[in-house]
Structure 1
Amino acid sequence: MTMSTAPVRVTLRAATEEDRAFLVALYATTRDDLALLPPEQRSMIMDLQYRAQDHQYRQANPGADFDVVEIDGRPVGRLYVDRGTDDIRIVDISLLPDCRGAGTGAALIRAILDEAAASGRIVSLHVAFDNPAAHLYERLGFRLVAEHGAHRLLEWTAP
């Protein structure tokens, strides 16, 4: 997928083992709860948690696309999407802090919503209660379906 919003070019490409250091660093930007740990300890914990999350995502979504988001060739995020027969599940979307709030995430999600509308599928995702991106999902038309512990299941259906 390539989206061009002048003057930037947003592309997706399959994540590879060479992206691991970037993906661990990206994951760390989503985890403020460990900020007070010494850097080497925090780094080790982030690596272990990223590995566990990645393993779980891949086990639960074996047919999913695990993509790195790039802007003008620079990795800035990840987008993991599992396209099923009846639904498209956004497994994970994360952007570097300096790319959040600039419309990139919304553009990526809108492309998925367009795909779902064209194929008659719904779009679903889980979001933590304290995740600021929940407001974006609501603005894009996602609705609460269920609550599971610290997460909410949201779904979007074409109008």
Structure 2
Amino acid sequence: MSKLALAMRLMPHCPQLEFVPEQEADTAFLRDLYASTRWQEVSQVPWTDQARREFLYDQFQLQRDHYRKNYVGAELLVVRQHGQPIGRIYLYPSPREIRLMDIALVDSKRGLGLGRCMIEALMQLAREDAAEITLHVEPNNPALHLYERLGFRLIEERGVYHFLGWTPPGYTA
């Protein structure tokens, strides 16, 4: 599979979105996006907003380093709409599996069906490739309900995460 095979194949399924490889210039946007997805969690900690932000920025960098070290060849994509960055989707393809490493949208774009569009597009690609989709999700993540509605099943609990999978009809491992 080429470096951007999945990105190029996703675009026709979500024509309102563009999927582009992240660049160093995207770092500030991606860092703030990450912080926005975790802000509710850290808001429970008796820290200042600045301390919360610094903690989340550090966590972002740790996650970024982990992905680059452990998922060599992954498609780390910025999601754009009308030329503006609105999210990210990180995908790690292998011959029989598409790992949805991460998917996130800015607050103003959540709940509008864009995440669902991307996941359904991935499901179509998995059907075409006879591949399974797998992902990790925390049990309190609102996206868990979407994954369940789309037919993802619990494979196993892995620490604080549920490891979910979806297989196309007729899939054989």
> Who is 2:34 aligned against?
27
Which stretches of structure 1, 4 residues or more, deviate above 3 A after TM superposition? Answer: none
Task: Write out aligned runs for 1:1-159 (5 A).
Answer: 1=8, 2=11, 3-4=14-15, 9-31=16-38, 32-35=40-43, 37-159=47-169
Q: Percent identity?
A: 38
Give unmatched runs, 5+ long, in structure 1.
none
Alignment root-mean-square deviation, CA? 1.1
User: What secondary structure sits across from 1:123 in the alignment?
Assistant: strand
User: What secondary structure sits across from 2:73 in the alignment?
Assistant: coil
In 2: Cα distance, 1:115 partner to 1:108 partner = 11
How far did 1:45 drift? Answer: 1.4
TM-score (norm 2): 0.86
In 2: Cα distance, 1:12 partner to 1:65 partner = 10
User: What secondary structure sits across from 2:28 in the alignment?
Assistant: helix
**Higher percent of residues as helix:** 2
How far did 1:153 drift? Answer: 0.6
Kindly tell me the number of residue pairs found equivalent between the two proteins: 155
Which digits, 9 at most, give the CA deviation of each residue in 1:52-97, with x for residues without a partner? 0011112111111000011111111100000001100000001111
In 1: Cα distance, 2:41 partner to 2:125 partner = 35
Structure with bigger RCO (C-alpha 8 Å, 6+ apart): 2
Give unmatched runs, 5+ long, in structure 2.
1-7
In 1: Cα distance, 2:56 partner to 2:139 partner = 21
User: What secondary structure sits across from 2:87 in the alignment?
Assistant: strand
Moved more, 34-43 or 61-70: 34-43
In 2: Cα distance, 1:154 partner to 1:34 partner = 25
TM-score (norm 1): 0.93
How far did 1:107 drift? Answer: 0.6
**Higher percent of residues as strand:** 1
Which digits, 9 at most, give the CA deviation of each residue in 1:111-134, with x for residues without a partner? 111111101111000100110100
